[in-house]
Amino acid sequence: GESVGLHLPTLSVQEGDNSIINCAYSNSASDYFIWYKQESGKGPQFIIDIRSNMDKRQGQRVTVLLNKTVKHLSLQIAATQPGDSAVYFCAEIQGAQKLVFGQGTRLTINP
């Protein structure tokens, strides 16, 4: 069946370092992907998205990479700050109708 999973449930990085959060998906029909950030006690927040006709997209301090060959998605956060501490979810959307989330990775920033 379809599934979106994350390679690591937790990730701890030093403040100022770059963070890389990974995600694997299994449905090759997925055509749109989103990364969300969820802070404690809050709902998810959109970070960045990418369509299947792209392999890289950059935002402010964040970059998403898509490798359709191995069905892999990653989120890179540059110069990680304490405010980046949160759970990060990837999500895949199939035909603009079905949304499937990954389990989430908890990112912890060490001072």
Partner 1 sequence: KAGVTQTPRYLIKTRGQQVTLSCSPISGHRSVSWYQQTPGQGLQFLFEYFSETQRNKGNFPGRFSGRQFSNSRSEMNVSTLELGDSALYLCASSGSGRAFGDTQYFGPGTRLTVL
75-104 mask for partner 1 (x: CB under 8 A)? Answer: --------------x-x-x--xxxxxxxxx
Alpha carbons 111 and 93: distance in angstroms, whole number: 36
Pairing of strands 105-110, 86-94: antiparallel
Task: By CB under 8 A, tell whether 32 contacts partner 1.
Answer: yes
Task: By CB under 8 A, tell whether 53 contacts partner 1.
Answer: no
Size of residue set near partner 1 by CB under 8 A: 21
Options 40, 43, 69, 70; binder of partner 1; rule CB under 8 A: 43
Contacts of 100 (CB under 8 A, 6+ apart): 2, 3, 4, 25, 27, 30, 91, 92, 93, 94
Residues of this chain that bind partner 1 (CB under 8 A)? 32, 34, 41-46, 49, 89, 91, 93, 96-104
